Amino acid sequence: MTNSSKAHAAVLGANLIFGANYAIVKYITPGAIRPFALNVVRILVSLVLFWFLFLFKPGKNPIRRRHIPRFVICALTGVVINQLLFIKGLSLTTSIHSSLLSLATPIFITIIAAWLLREGFTLTKAAGLVCGIGGASLLVLLKDSTHTGSDILLGDILVLINAISYSFYLVLVRPLMAAYSGIQVLRWVFSIGALIIIPVGWSEFATTDWTAFNTSQWICLGFVAIGATFVAYLLNVYGISVIGASATGAYIYTQPVFAAAIAVAFAGEHFSFIKLVAAVLIFTGVYLVNKKKAAPAQLLG
């Protein structure tokens, strides 16, 4: 298997995890654990795991002082704003709204990459974006809404800001990936992000009733903290380093497909012909967006 194939498989796996994460987060928050407390758990667990990897992959290049501002910006966009607003927004709105709004990420990535990294925006990419958005929107809109959100408008706004923030992160982190190892970048991005997330969420974390958790809630908490944070970030950062920001972000279109498959397997939903059409459109969009290789990012000086 080539490096490119491995990268595509890694990003696909990351989005399988992200696709399941919507329902799992809604299952435990805000009922079992409040949103900012969940963020503290995510950042603490991931931070310990990333620094544990330091024992095996310490990183060959020391962090250069002139790159610190970019690390700080990536921490703010990829960890602080992204994680805080996603969990908080999802707790207020519905899973359907959150997954639909998150589909804006590849659009922002393509625009930002064309602006900051001068990646080409071709008609083929435009057609891919249209197919992906059309198919994913069709699939998501077909799902029944439970209207469980307590403040859908505010939640939608927070999730949309999260999508924009994460798009900036995926583009801005790419030059760092060219200068340092992926684990080294994530270790410092999460370390910087923790300095903000922990104080913000500590009050909710300290008042969480851990004794009230049942077995399924503990399993879901572990999935969110380890799978949807540590593992998914590793897979995505590997994808960025090999196939670029635009290609990595385009795989977000597969999340509704995975969400539907999980619903069929575990929630008794039916896979209709219209859902099959939507899935075909989504994968066609991913193919078209990735058809032409984006220009490589320049190494940081």
37-72, pLDDT tens digit by residue? 999 999 999 889 988 887 777 766 788 899 999 999
Out of 69-78, 79-88, 253-262, least confident range: 253-262
**pTM confidence score:** 0.74
pLDDT single digits (tens) 245-287? 778 877 877 777 777 677 667 655 556 677 677 767 777 776 7
pLDDT at position 198 over 50 = yes
Kind plus residue range of the DSSP H or E element containing 101:
helix 95-102
Cβ atoms of residues 124 and 290 within 8 Å: no
Closest among 103, 122, 124 to 114, alpha carbons compared: 122
pLDDT at position 300 over 50 = no
- Tell me how far the alpha carbon of residue 269 is from its chain's centroid: 25
Cβ atoms of residues 136 and 104 within 8 Å: no
More confident residue, 110 or 300: 110
pLDDT at 126: 78
pLDDT at 150: 65
Mean pLDDT taken over the chain: 80
Cβ atoms of residues 132 and 191 within 8 Å: no
Distance in angstroms (rounded) separating the CA atoms of residues 225 and 228: 6
DSSP 8-state assignment for residue 208:
-
Distance in angstroms (rounded) separating the CA atoms of residues 290 and 297: 16
DSSP 8-state assignment for residue 61:
S
pLDDT at position 141 over 70 = no
Query: The tokens of 174 are what?
Result: 């790419």
Closest among 300, 296, 10, 274 to 141, alpha carbons compared: 274
Distance in angstroms (rounded) separating the CA atoms of residues 285 and 256: 13
| Maximum alpha-carbon separation in the chain | 55
Sign, CA torsion 249/269/131/10: positive
Out of 3-7, 119-123, 193-197, 205-209, least confident range: 119-123
| E runs forming strands in 158-240 | none
Question: Which residues, in sequence order, are CB contacts of 16 under 8 Å at separation 6+?
Answer: 254, 258
Out of 134-148, 172-186, 212-226, 263-277, least confident range: 134-148
Cβ atoms of residues 29 and 35 within 8 Å: yes
pLDDT at 239: 87
One-character DSSP codes across 6-25: HHHHHHHHHHHHHHHHHHHH
